[in-house]
Structure 1
Amino acid sequence: MSYGDKVVLDGIDLDVPEGTVFSLLGPNGAGKTTVVRILSTLARADGGEARVSGHDVVTEADAVRAVIGVTGQFAAVDGLLTGEENLILMADLHRLGRAEGRRRVAGLLDRFDLAEAGPKPASTYSGGMRRRLDIAMTLVGEPRVIFLDEPTTGLDPRSRHTMWQIIREQVSRGVTVFLTTQYLDEADQLADHVAVLDHGTLVAQGSPEELKRLIPGGHIRLRFSDPGRFDAAAGILGQAQRDDEALALQVPSDGSSRSLRALLDRLDRNSIEADELSVHTPDLDDVFFALTDKDKVR
């Protein structure tokens, strides 16, 4: 996919299992939104093939649109209408009958904790309420696949966690969620599968745990209050990195329970006890910075 001479996407290959959360990560300008636009039939790729729920996004675009819902980076809410009227408008666009449309609207207002705010203009809603209304509007048509393009940008922590609960609820109903996000902890919390996009190219794919194992740096930190025990531990743990000022040792580890038990067994055999122990494993932040162009991160 190119815009003029600029290549935005270059030969990416994605396979998203049904009823899961798939998260696409990448720096600003990596091509995440372009992927969403192609898969939701809002843009046409220069080549290749893409299918959503078995339907080709080019030759069966209407069938794709019938099974998807899209929530963009900015809430597509009409502030002049009430929350209820926004949902009714979506029900009418989906050509639902009056009774069925009102039933779905009432159910969504209740499910998204907007029943009390429903009769009020959407312009009076907080950012979190507008985001919840935006996703509720996406769900009026009961889509089987939902594209969420950075849905929690700008939300406070409480609103973000509410949004996470909504996403988990949809997946529990068998819905497939395609999520792009700038928040790596969000992908770690929600995603069954993660792909990292950089310069329009996929640089890694896998579960969050699989991706974390790609990055070195896991370790166990031992801290001592007694200099003698500190020196003794350092003597038997030759690979440990010393912090003489803090009386702490950093021992390389893959974070597994097996490596932790092996370390504790070595200390026990030598009658050495640490005052504090903590296990540190790479997180998705480490994965992101290791695999993407750091000069593009904002």
Structure 2
Amino acid sequence: MKKLFLIITFYLISGSVNCIDVISYPGGRVVIEIKNPISIRSSVYFCKIKTQTECENLITAQVSDLQTVVHKDRFSLFYSFTEGIISLIFRNLSLQDTGMYQIGEIRGWNHNINLRVKSDPCCGTKTVKGYLGQTLMISCSYPVEFKTNTKSFYRLDTIAGTELIRTSGTQPHQDRFSISDDRRNKVFSVNITDVREDDVGVYSCVVINEETAVSYHSLFTVIQLREVTDDTPESPDGTLTKSESAGSSINIIIITVVVFVLLLLAVGLVLIFYKLRCKRSQGLLDRNVLESLSEVSI
């Protein structure tokens, strides 16, 4: 470890001409990718620069270990030999993680990374509820500095996450997913059609910066899809949904039955009243006839 510290210090003294700004948010994570590095012959390291000659080692991986993912605390390193890309994952970021870092190969290349962890009301964790067979829309507000960046949507089923769809580079519709970006309101939306029980899980809203050889994906809002039910919510346009329509139909049937019973009662009362009136009229007629007959007899 002491030897490694001295080697890293040596490269700090010699200086690094490559530097990239990386922006992330509390509770989020960043995936930093270094494309097409020179063939790796020694260990890869990631350290936090303390002074001009001191860099605190955070994770180091041997070449042989990079064939699989190497983990240490909140950091992970792996190398795709087929694509020639080294990926560093920095998880569960906090404001205290803001600072200058360096990633590189001992006795080889290196890049300085200026990490800025910023607070923003748009970013954090939220929970959504899905409904079987329906379409679920998830909205992600993003900071203004990412207005023109590519937006992406991940499922966090691995350390790095699995990208499901992005606003550029692929079609806006992919399987059951579609994505759109409202840059005026700084919101991008993802629709998941035909929601299923196995959609329950953790997702993330992501912005991508690929303008330099060192690119990064900033996972800034975590979406927890916790429950999928058979109930159908109110549709966005305000029309009645399936469950509400069924409830309304039952209410209409009940109301119809009640009105019909009331009508029957009303008709029955009218008939009773009419019958009583007829009997009364008949009684008066019989009395008049008897009086007439009495007068004739006299």
* TM bucket normalised to smaller: under 0.3
* TM score, norm. by length of structure 2: 0.24
**Which structure ranks higher in relative contact order (CA pairs < 8 Å, sequence separation ≥ 6)?**
1
Q: Answer 1 or 2: which has greater strand percent.
A: 2
Look at both structures and tell me which one has the larger radius of gyration over its CA atoms. 2
